[in-house]
Each structure stands twice: as C-alpha cells, then as structure tokens.
Amino acid sequence: MRESASQSRLVLSIFFTCLLFVSGLGLSQVEAKDAAFDAFLDEIRVEAANKGVRPEFIAALDGLQPNPDVQRLAARQPEYVKPIWSYLTHLITDKRLSLGREKLLEEQAILAQLEEQYGVPRGILVAIWGVETNYGSNKGYFPVLQALATLGYQGKRAKFGRQQLLAALEILQTGDVKLEDFKGSWAGAMGHTQFIPTTYQGYAADGTGDGVRNIWTQPHDALASTANYLKVSGWKRGLPWGFEVRVPDDFDFALADLKRLEPAAFWRARGVQAYHGELGDELGDMAIFAPGGLRGPVFLVTVNFKALLRYNTAPAYALAVGHLSQRFTEAASFDRPWPMTDRPLLPEEISVLQNALNAAGYQAGEADGILGTSTRRAVRDYQRDANLVADGFATPGLLSHLGVR
C-alpha cells in the first residue's frame, strides 16, 4: 500500500509539473502575441506623429487589444462565398425595397440636387445606402481604431489595415467625428454608406453646407460623398449600369469577361439581344457578365458597372446595387431564372478546384476558396479545352471531370 501511494504521489507530481509547463508555455505565447501587437502600435504611434497627428489623438490607441471577431469575419465575405442568387435574395428583400422607396420620397430634395450636381441617379445612391447599412440602421458597431489595428498587425490585410489606421487617426484629428461615434464595420468601413478612411479623406463631401463631412450621423453628407466618389470613379451621366440580355445557345462564353469591353455593334454581331429595348451605339463599350453561366441571367454592363466596382470590387455587390436601384421603380425581377438546382461549390471545394486547375496548367490563382475573376477565367479555359460549355460556372460535376472528386 505504501509503495502504491508513493507511486500515486509521483504520478501526480509529474502531472502537475507538466501542467505548469504547458500553462507557462501557453502564457508565454499569449505574452508574445501581446508584445507583437504592442510593438505594432508603437510603430503606428511613430508614423502617426511623423504625419502630424497630435499626441492627444495618438493616445486613442492606448489600451487597444486585437478583436477576434474581426479576425474571424475577415476570413469570409458573403459577396464571394455565397451563391450569387442567395446573396441577392438576402439583400433585395421586400422590406429593403419598401424602405428604399420611402427614402426616395423623404430625401427627394437632396437626391435631386446630388443627381444634378454629380450625374449619379438617385436610385443608385439610395441602393448603395440600402445595401451598405440598410439606410443607416446597421452602420457597424466595431470601434474603427480597434478593427483596423487588428487587421493591421498581422495577416493578409496587414498592409491595408496599417494604411487605414493611420488615415483614421488623421480623420479623428479633423474633428469631423468624435471618438465615441467612430465606429464601423469589421473592415473599418464607416458611416451611412461605408467609406474606408482613405476613401473618406479623398472623396467625402459636405452635403449639408455646414463645413463638416459627417458621414456617421448625417445621411446627406454620406449620400453626397457617395455621389462624388462614383463620379470620380468614372460614372457617366445618362448611362445605365447595365441590363439583362439574351445570348444564343452557341455563344462563346470566353467573351464573358468584365475586362473585355466592346461596342454595342460587336455584341449585336454575336447575337446578343436586350430583353427590353435595343443595343444602341450610345451605350458605349460594354462587357458580358454571366455569374450563373449559360443557365442563368446574362448581363451587358457599361462603364458605370465598373464605377460600382470601385466602391466594392465584388461583381455580386455591383449587381445587387444595380438591380436594387431598378426594383425601386420596376416590379419585375430577372427575366431568366437563376440555376438554383446547380449547386455551386463550397469554399473548401473551390480550393480543391483551384489546386487542380493550377496543377493542370490553368492559372486559377491562390487556392483561397473564393471563385473570383482569375478562377472563373481558368474554369472557362479548362471547359473550352475539355469540349464542355465554357461558361465559367463551376459545379461539383466539374470536380468529377477533373478527377478530384
């Protein structure tokens, strides 16, 4: 019995020693992470001071800690991860349409003024307001400085976060916003129409005439800022963003590339027809956008679609804004239904697809699980070479064809 008790005490002693070692190791890792974040903030303090930010505003960095929710949300963005029809259904709801129509009436004076001044239709401005923050009801609750510091000190968005954090400190110094109101999205986008700090610095406008560009609590300033930014981004007065079209069954979907802008005559010669109206030469150069492939709606988009992409680089976002702006005054949805029975790939399946395409010599880009422009182009190239319909639409069947499923 004494020997058994002695053995038990020895086992317990070893257990607690290991536990203390592991705890100490975990603590040292936490301390190292905190030290790295603090060192990052010290660098920002020096850079901010060199940019002329005064100490009382640099002091707003004191006590900041990384926000794990920001890190988690940065890993996935719905405009890239969700099937496009799910993304559109989530954004273009009956309630959002109803509220948007109310805003068009309530704010018609300022909207008419902005439309005249900047050439951007009021429906587009209200649609961006609706998509970004549901007309100001969801402007984001993350403290901007903390969110940007979290992004800036490590990870893929470090360069972005660092740049935006320095700009945010400069904005705070202008007095346009108080620290307690300085909140936004996990990515540091701010106000009624979600400007990132550098975009705010370059393009925010005073829509009220009071000398302050307050996009956080003053929607007129936010709408004016959005109109100004779209104009600078190349919005052309009098042009639509785009419209749905018919394409022939033998259409070459290798031409469906947002970077390929061609005149209306080019598309007419290839059998492209508008569902409503004509493809007139006055529309300028346009590109084919086919996010659902041959079986889904197909769009011809103008340079104004590219201006929307300056606001948010996701084509699904630009389509959502354009379509919502139309639905404010038109009852009809899309003329051609989405291929909802063709299950899109999950993010992990997209990563497998990207690796397989890269291994086969097709340039799909980084295996990040996002079906972006490069991956769609690689899918089309593979489909073309494999004598499939080269529409860039990836389904589980494509994985089987590649031999990775």
Look at residue 378 and tell me if it is in a domain: yes
pLDDT number for residue 2: 42
pLDDT number for residue 389: 85
Residues 6+ apart with CB under 8 A from 328: 97, 100, 101, 104, 123, 126, 127
Q: Taking the model in full, what pTM does it have?
A: 0.85
Look at residue 384 and tell me if it is in a domain: yes
Look at residue 263 and tell me if it is in a domain: no
Residue type at 13? S
pLDDT number for residue 359: 94
Region 15-21 average pLDDT: 49
129-148 confidence digits (pLDDT tens): 999 999 999 999 999 999 99
Q: Which two tokens stand for residue 299?
A: 């769009």
Question: What is the domain extent for residue 385?
Answer: 347-402
Look at residue 223 and tell me if it is in a domain: no
Give the distance, in angstroms, between the CA of residue 155 and the centroid of all CA atoms in the same chain. Answer: 17
Region 82-101 average pLDDT: 92
Look at residue 368 and tell me if it is in a domain: yes
Domain count, the chain: 1
Region 262-270 average pLDDT: 97
